[in-house]
Structure 1
Amino acid sequence: MCKVMKVHRSGYYQWLNQPISDREKENQKLLTHIKDAYKESNGVYGSRNIHKDLKELGIHVNKKRVARLMSEAKLYGVGTYKRKPYSRAGAVHKAHPNYVKRCFIVDKPNDTWVSDITYIRTKEGWIYLATVLDLYSRKIIGWATGHRQTTPLI
């Protein structure tokens, strides 16, 4: 094989038996920390979150290096699911009147309440969080969660 590659046998064996470099030793040590953080996240975290975890541990390393080491070790984070759930297709939604009319300055408590619905993705599916906020104090008056966007939730 050395003749085909036009390499001396002594050069091949010297290359084969060369000691591991300091950089490679450091990469191996760093990879153990990366694998621990990856395992701790149940295989969800990508290179950005792993980098944050390492930074919290006091290990300062470049994001690209973490990404390269993870790629070489075939450790991939779980991407987010972009599509938000919709209500029934073809359902007619009644538009409610806008009483606030974008005037968010309030003089007394419990004069104006506003609400919002937030979609939260979990492993089991979507959860809906409905909140009611007092504009004067900016405090949450009430909240509810549910698996469906139904009237009792809102």
Structure 2
Amino acid sequence: MREQQKTYPVTVLCRVMEVSSSAFYTWLKTPGDSEKAQRKAALEAKASQLFEDHRQTYGYRRLSDALGKAGIKSGHYQVRHLMARLGLKARYPKRFKVTTDSNHNKAISPNSLDRQFEAKAPNQVWTTDITYIWTLDGWLYLAVVIDLFSRQVVGWDIADHMRTSLCVSALQMAFWRRKPKPGLLHHSDRGSQYASHDYRKHLSIMKMEQSMSRKGNCWDNSPTERFFRSLKHEQLNYEKFRTKTSAKLSVIDVSLFTTANDLIKTRLSIPVAI
């Protein structure tokens, strides 16, 4: 109305907009309130958009950080009340399945990594682990290998079992894609797959040094645990997979495995023998 009053009488504009002339003139005298309302509306719209873009998984801290990256300054306290007012409630994971069997008599490697998670260059330190995915057809298992320098997945495989061959396949993908120099430090938990003779044989052929977490200590492999948490918390746990194929297609969504100069091909495994 403020712009259109240059062309049309205020009385006509007020009649069209169904407001009184006195209300319009009062509004003109308090531009600060109008600008404040606009900023509030913009904040609410952007917060709702970011919340949906991240699959309704962001709490007030992460949403506040996301708003800051979008150029909208907002404190944690403000965003917490904003989410309550808008009814934005973060979702949390539900199902759980144990994937680590450390009750075995196989050899255990020392914890050489010792939580030194900051690699100085690519292909110096890799971490690995297995997670689970529920479908109406049954469980699927995903093994990944992560380069600590970039914190990106460099090798992976997915199957309806979690035998040693699953982990070996993920390791083979990482090795043939990156071709690391001898001496790379390979860290995992104490699971029977990683302690097996077959897996150790592959590490020996690839000239990698094996490191293992302390028993029952997930913090010793926290970068991989954090990746799995993000993958499941922000994507997989809130999709209802009817088939294992649909779950695999969701897992190999290329956006999950994109790096600056590389993209893992959307394939379920690689037939490589060492």
User: What amino acid does structure 2 have at the position aligned with 1:26?
Assistant: R
The separation in 2 between residues aligned to 1:75 and 1:97, in whole angstroms, is 49
Q: Of residues 123, 133, 158 in structure 2, which corresponds to 1:145?
A: 158
For 1:18-37, list aligned pairs within 5 A: 21=33, 23-37=36-50
The structure with the larger Rg is 1
Aligned partners of 2:142 and 2:156 also within 8 Å = no
The change in CA–CA distance for 1:32 and 1:148 in structure 2 (over 3 A counts) is same
> Comparing both structures, which one devotes a greater share of its residues to helix?
2
CA displacement, residues 64-109 of structure 1 (integer Å, 9 cap, x when unaligned): 111111111101111244x64125xxx99532112x44457xxxxx
Match of 1:152, SS state, is: helix
1:63 maps to 2:76:
yes
The one-letter amino acid paired with 2:77 is K
Aligned to 1:96: 106
State whether structure 2 residue 142 is matched by structure 1 residue 128.
Answer: yes
Work out which of the residue numbers 50, 54, 58 in structure 2 matches 1:45: 58
Which sections of structure 2, spanning at least 5 residues, go unmatched?
Answer: 1-22, 114-125, 148-152, 168-274
CA contact (8 A) 1:128 1:148 kept: no
CA distance in 1, matches of 2:84, 2:159: 38
Equivalent positions of 1:70-89 (< 5 A) are: 70-81=83-94, 84-86=96-98
Q: The residue matched to 1:60 in structure 2 has which SS?
A: coil
Relative to structure 1, is the Cα distance of residues 120 and 56 closer, same or farther in structure 2, using a 3 angstrom cutoff? farther
- For the residues of structure 1 that align with 2:160 and 2:97, how far apart are their CA atoms? 11
Mapped pair 1:119 → 2:131: yes
- Structure 2 length-normalised TM: 0.34
Distance in 1 (alpha carbons) for counterparts of 2:38 and 2:79: 15
Are the aligned partners of 1:131 and 1:144 in contact in 2 as well (CA < 8 Å)?
no
Coordinate RMSD, CA, aligned? 4.3
Residue 252 of structure 2 corresponds to which residue in structure 1? none
Measure, in 1, the Cα distance between the counterparts of 2:154 and 2:72.
Answer: 42
Name structure 1 gaps, 5 residues minimum: 1-16, 105-113, 134-139
Q: Does the 8 Å CA contact 1:145/1:153 hold for their aligned counterparts?
A: yes
What's the CA shift string for 1:33-64, capped at 9, x where partnerless?
A: 11121222233323222212211111111111
Q: Does structure 2 retain, via aligned residues, the 8 Å contact 1:144–1:153?
A: yes
Q: Is the 8 A contact 1:37 1:53 kept in 2?
A: yes
* Superimposed CA distance per residue, residues 104-151 of structure 1 (whole angstroms, 9 cap, x where no aligned partner): 7xxxxxxxxx97424266899764315499xxxxxx996433343223
